[in-house]
Amino acid sequence: MDKLRAIRYFNRAAEGGSFATAARQFDVSTPAVAHLVGALERELGFELVHRSTRGLSLTADGERYYESSRKLEADFNELDLRFSPRGTKPRGTLTVGIRSPVGRHCIMPRIGRFLERYPDVELVAKPVTTIQDIDAMKLDVAVLMGWPPERDLVVRHLVQTRHVVCASPDYWKRNGAPKEPEGLREHHCLLYRNVTGVVLDRWSFRKNSDTRTVDVGSCFVSDDRHWLEAAACAGVGVVRLFDFGLGHYLASGALIPVLTEWESLEAPTIFAAYPPRLRQSKLVRVFVDFLIEVFRELESERIPGADALKSVPKPQWYGRAHGRHSAYVARGRKPA
């Protein structure tokens, strides 16, 4: 058995939720992926995944193995590149698209490391919003937030974000902090409208087996997460933000989190995607390896709170029509 290949197949299947997703990324058959992952399970002596008609989910052993195996894969890729013969170092222009908040908070503060490591690479970075921008903007790689679509792209899961509900100290002093999710109904909330126009005014939480869903009232709606951050820091209301990038707000005391014992559901995944034709591109490979390194570091620095899930199912509003999420639920139908 080619154990490294088996580990790579397992990692992509774990991130994509199916053997078929891994097969598309490696340009092999689905049975080939299933067979090698099965061989890996037999050698280890335990099951890594639960198989069902709805896809794959990791077992408890699979969760622990994945945490180690993805780091092993990244270390092997870095070792392989470091000892490549002279003259095979990557060179040329790489065009990448990055979702604005991910670039601002996660990648740009560390981009100097990549440029120093690969001085013969010219990096062209563009802000993007959707997966369609890969073709429209002729990108080599895109770094996006959300849930990867089922289409012919190579997708690398980078990290599962976690939502944090917070407001300024002044706001909490004036209005009091909620003790339970339902208490948010009494507050002014700052709501994000996603790229398809859905206002995310239905916030779901989970603590152990207890799940709560709250339709929150809004005093401010914006398509721009940076504006929501600024308004929250100014004491306007309560905001729900993803945890990466919140560190400096919390360290300075500009924002104070609440309900930290609850996991705020429906947080997006951060992932990289690129066309299959670039699967063998050394430029793409070193940039994706750099992204894996960055998010591995960020995961180790996460703010305290409920643990994020390894993956979050696609919510009903994702990729749907305009309007308020709560309005569709009130009318007894999903967004179409």
Do 334 and 316 meet the contact criterion of CB atoms below 8 Å apart?
A: yes
pLDDT at 306 over 50: no
Across 18-32, 80-94, 211-225, 293-307, the highest mean pLDDT is recorded for: 211-225
Report, as an integer, the average pLDDT of 322-335. Answer: 52
Do 99 and 146 meet the contact criterion of CB atoms below 8 Å apart?
A: no
For the chain, give the mean pLDDT. 84
The tokens describing 62, both together, are 């699979």
**In the chain, what are the domains?**
1-83 (1.10.10.10), 89-160+268-304 (3.40.190.10), 163-267+306-330 (3.40.190.10)
- The residue with greater pLDDT, 91 or 45, is 45
Report d(CA 247, CA 319) in Å as an integer. 29
Report, as an integer, the average pLDDT of 288-313. Answer: 73
Residue 256 phi, psi (nearest 5): -120, 120
pLDDT digits (tens, 9 = 90+) for 244-263: 878 788 889 999 999 988 88
pLDDT at 297 over 60: yes
- Indicate whether this model's pTM tops 0.85: no
Confidence class of residue 323 from pLDDT cuts 50, 70 and 90?
low
Report d(CA 235, CA 249) in Å as an integer. 13
The tokens describing 288, both together, are 């994706």
CB atoms closer than 10 angstroms to residue 297: 11
Residue 235: per-residue pLDDT? 95
